[in-house]
Amino acid sequence: MSASVAELLLVAGIAGLVFLLAAVTQAVSGFGSAMVAVPLLAIAVGPATAVVAATLVSLPLTAGAWRRERAHVDGRLARVLTLAGVLGMPLGLFALTRLDDRSLTALVGVGLLVVVALMWRDVTLPAGRGSLWASGVTSGLLLTSTGMNGPPLVLSLQGAGLAPRRFRATLQAVFCVQDLVAVAAFALTDHLDATTWAAAAGGVAGLPVGWAIGNRIFGTLSPERFRAVVLAGLVVTAAVALGNAFLRS
């Protein structure tokens, strides 16, 4: 049954608030928009719709950030990670189509928990070409299955030793192109329905305020506090995702 106009407006309103918070996270850490948005939005519309909506919203957010900070992008790293990500997307799309809501939600939570543990222990990936390709492929798989391609890219770029602004800018470039390809794949597989578009529209409306707030915060952070903010955000979203999976059992 199709959603009513009132239901779509409610979805848009919830998504607006969720993505305002997500945009703050993205501006501060360079990633995290989907890792905040997907677990929270999934409570209202289900994980599959949340994944697709988060990717739709992420596209203008990352495109704008890439345009503003294009001078800081590491072109070589961005090219390798983007191409590798595209190669991993078909497997993620298969998982999105085949897994039920509970399994998808649990996958989100467990994946975030693993990332928190790795980053807490200061684990970084070596900066070699093989590691970059592995991170990129994994990010593409995660994007089309959970909407959260950030973790492997973050670990890989931390291993490359990029400064915070260069780190953030390079991530936006990779995210933007991966999002564009993923949206095309979602369209081809009929994952774009009225509820998804309503959530995406609300999310886009919440982006500008969230990014402005987050950008102000970013300018005040030292590298040490920068890392602490990243870890704290991951802990919160992992807890939300696992709690949501438990409630669905």
Question: Residue 51: is its pLDDT beyond 80?
Answer: yes
Taking alpha carbons only, the member of 150, 149, 156, 172 closest to residue 92 is 149
Residue 191: its pLDDT value, please?
A: 92
The string of pLDDT tens digits covering residues 58-104 is: 898 788 888 888 899 998 999 999 999 999 999 999 999 888 888 88
More confident residue, 99 or 221: 99
- Name the pTM for this structure: 0.81
End-to-end CA gap in the chain: 24
Chain segment 203-213, per-residue pLDDT in tens: 999 988 888 88
Residue 117 pLDDT > 80: no
The pLDDT, as a whole number, for residue 249 is 54
| Residue 173, CA distances (Å) to 78, 108, 122, 170, 218 in order | 7, 23, 25, 5, 18
pLDDT, residue 123, reads 67
pLDDT > 90: what percent of the chain?
34
Nearest to 36 by CA among 58, 8, 10: 58
Is residue 42 within 8 Å of residue 100, measured between CB atoms? no
Q: Is the pLDDT of residue 196 over 80?
A: yes
Instruction: Report the chain's mean pLDDT, rounded to a whole number.
Output: 84
In the structure encoding, which two tokens stand for residue 142, read together? 């995660």
Q: What is the largest CA-CA distance in the chain?
A: 52
Q: Is the CB of residue 84 less than 8 Å from the CB of residue 149?
A: no
pLDDT of residue 246: 73
Give the pLDDT score at 91. 92
Distance CA 140, CA 2 (A): 31
Nearest to 153 by CA among 166, 141, 138, 164: 138
Higher confidence at residue 3 or residue 1?
3
In this prediction, residues 167-180 reach a mean pLDDT of 91
In this predicted structure, the answer to whether residue 137 has a pLDDT above a threshold of 80 is yes
Residue type for position 86: V
C-alpha to C-alpha distances, 151 to 83, 118, 124, 142, 230, nearest whole angstrom: 17, 10, 11, 9, 11
pLDDT tens sequence across 12-28: 999 999 999 888 877 77
Q: Is 120 exposed, middle or buried (0-12, 13-18, 19+ CB in 10 A)?
A: exposed
The reported pLDDT for the residue numbered 3 is 76
